[in-house]
Structure 1
Amino acid sequence: MLETFGGFNPILQALIAGLFTWFCTIVGSSFVFLFKTVNRKVMDVMGGFAAGVMIAASFWSLLAPSISYAESNGYGIWSFVPAAVGFLLGGAFLRLTDAIIPHLHMGDPVEKREGPETKASRNLLLFLAITIHNIPEGLAVGVAFGAAGLSLAVDSTLVGAIALTLGIGLQNIPEGSALSMPIRADGNSRWRSFNIGQLSAIVEPVAAVIGAAAVLSMTAILPYALAFAAGAMIFVVVEELIPESQTNGNSDIATVGLMFGFTVMMILDVALG
């Protein structure tokens, strides 16, 4: 039986949550109207904070429920298998996506673009990089709401899914500004910079609906799906967020940002979930 809130089924809940995380990106992107530039130190702190949120969310909101579900559904001593397999598949999915879609990481010259050869502009490459890495965030939200709706996964509650949404939304605010501000610095108008920044997260409500629909239609994949989202998020953290925040001479304060982000997400998930 599906667990609903306010008369909304889990797929609609996931859509609303995805729209909320997109809105948070819109808020972050709107900073381009208020500031001409953002201090590099501030950017690195925000990047560290986002990394901390995603690391904590990956464990408390995704991996722990994956293992708990397996333990309560007859996996016995093999309860680690869905979490391990799903986690590795999530990382492999992001690596494959990185390989087939051209993109450029923040702060890198266009010559360091990744993926296949392309003549795409720097702005488009930056946009693609952020968009690619917003996909696992949307999936994580959707899978969490799907798991809560099924009332099958131990530790997967509606409140826990909301906590995950809040955490991802919080880190989307600095992420939106981290994209729109450099685009503005390249000489683009404020409106163009804002639109590119906020559109990078439009995939999140789409991915959220896909994630929720997948676990609701195929209950057996639930522990794998939870861990898949976690693996994809950790890949983003290690491959992008941490290196970008640590290579500009602000490693100490960026690490403090990571610790703070981790703590905030831990509190949200444990206290609310």
Structure 2
Amino acid sequence: MFDKVITYFESIDPVMGALVATTFTWLVTAAGAALVFLFKGMKRVVLDGMLGFTGGVMVAASFWSLLAPAIAMSKGEGFEKVLPAAAGFAMGAAFLFALDRLLPHLHINFKENKAEGVQTGWHRTTLLVLAITLHNIPEGLAVGVLFGGVAAGIPEASIAGAVILAVGIGIQNFPEGIAVAMPLRRQGMSRKKSFFYGQLSAIVEPMAGVLGAFAVSFFTPVLPYALSFAAGAMIFVVVEEVIPETQQDKYTDIATLGFIGGFIIMMSLDVALG
């Protein structure tokens, strides 16, 4: 099955491959949000475990799929070899830091008076969706730059690696869709609207994916910086948003175990199949 998927992606343009792969990750988010048609709510312990799992996948993907290839394809030795990855990582974190300070948003398990970014009168629903959208920008970008590396003919960038990253991100997008849709449903929003806003949070992934693929395919030397940029952005999201969201109740141990599980699964997929 996996071989057939790789064969398909090898038969199409890598930029189109980035669009297909990130559309898949968006659809998985929609599948998670669709659970509101079956359930009105979800136990906090399950939600915290899923969010921890999301963090584990993102951290593992940041190293195995992004930073390690970025370092491997950089020239030179010692500090010279690691400099592009370090610079890109710092720029990615700084980019998300700026978005976090400017874009109004509300973390999933936080009260409305804990909203971050520029002060606004926007509804809680909008703030929740924007919070998850922040998660998804670096995820779509990460998949896109790997496909862009394939288009540019970089040996360290492979279709298999890009597909595995998309699969891993898709897996952790499922609980993200739940994490947006379920709280909205509990607040009394209709099932259709809860689903709509839940899937809407990931629509940015195909956009970021295609943008990343185009940028790297035309400007090959930026690939190590682009890969590590996505890694820095993802790590910022995990430390600043995902982990704090799991620490607001009594299920911190469950969230930690979820994190470990997510890390192991993503690492295993990347090493075994990538």
Kindly report which structure 2 residues correspond to 1:36-51, keeping only aligned pairs within 5 A, or say none.
Answer: 36-51=40-55
1:227 and 2:228 are equivalent in the alignment: yes
Q: For the residues of structure 1 that align with 2:50 and 2:91, how far apart are their CA atoms?
A: 28
Match of 1:125 among 121, 124, 127: 127
TM-score, normalization by structure 1: 0.95
In the other structure, the counterpart of 1:216 is 217
- One-letter amino acid of the structure 2 residue matched with residue 36 of structure 1: K
Q: For the residues of structure 2 that align with 1:61 and 1:6, how far apart are their CA atoms?
A: 19
Q: CA deviation at 1:6?
A: 4.6
Q: For the residues of structure 1 that align with 2:165 and 2:51, how far apart are their CA atoms?
A: 18
Asked whether the 8 Å contact 1:66–1:153 carries over to 2, the reply is no
SS at match of 1:82: helix
Q: CA deviation at 1:153?
A: 4.4
Q: For the residues of structure 2 that align with 1:252 and 1:133, how far apart are their CA atoms?
A: 23
Q: For the residues of structure 2 that align with 1:50 and 1:151, how far apart are their CA atoms?
A: 31
Asked whether the 8 Å contact 1:28–1:173 carries over to 2, the reply is yes
Q: CA deviation at 1:4?
A: 8.9
Match of 1:135 among 134, 137, 143: 137
SS at match of 1:37: coil
Q: CA deviation at 1:252?
A: 1.1
Match of 2:14 among 4, 10, 29: 10
Kindly report which structure 2 residues correspond to 1:123-272, keeping only aligned pairs within 5 A, or say none.
Answer: 123-154=125-156, 156-272=157-273
Q: For the residues of structure 2 that align with 1:6 and 1:159, how far apart are their CA atoms?
A: 9
Q: CA deviation at 1:263?
A: 0.5
RMSD across aligned C-alpha pairs, in angstroms? 1.3
- One-letter amino acid of the structure 1 residue matched with residue 136 of structure 2: N
Kindly report which structure 2 residues correspond to 1:65-84, keeping only aligned pairs within 5 A, or say none.
Answer: 65-70=69-74, 74-77=75-78, 78-84=80-86
Q: For the residues of structure 2 that align with 1:248 and 1:120, how far apart are their CA atoms?
A: 26
Q: Deviations over 1:87-145 (max 9, x none)?
A: 01100000101111111111211111111111100001111111122100000010111
Asked whether the 8 Å contact 1:149–1:158 carries over to 2, the reply is no
Structure 1 residue runs of 5 or longer lacking an equivalent are none
The percentage of counterpart residues that share the same residue type is: 55
Q: CA deviation at 1:200?
A: 0.7
Q: CA deviation at 1:248?
A: 1.0
Runs of 4+ in 1 over 4 A off after TM superposition: none
Q: For the residues of structure 1 that align with 2:162 and 2:84, how far apart are their CA atoms?
A: 20
- One-letter amino acid of the structure 2 residue matched with residue 114 of structure 1: E
Q: For the residues of structure 2 that align with 1:48 and 1:247, how far apart are their CA atoms?
A: 12
In the other structure, the counterpart of 1:115 is 117
Q: For the residues of structure 1 that align with 2:155 and 2:91, how far apart are their CA atoms?
A: 20
SS at match of 1:246: coil
In the other structure, the counterpart of 1:91 is 93
Q: For the residues of structure 1 that align with 2:173 and 2:29, how far apart are their CA atoms?
A: 5
Q: CA deviation at 1:150?
A: 2.6
Q: For the residues of structure 1 that align with 2:183 and 2:254, how far apart are their CA atoms?
A: 21
Structure 2 residue runs of 5 or longer lacking an equivalent are 1-6
Structure-2 change in CA distance of 1:245 and 1:217 (3 Å): same
In the other structure, the counterpart of 1:54 is 58
Structure-2 change in CA distance of 1:4 and 1:148 (3 Å): farther
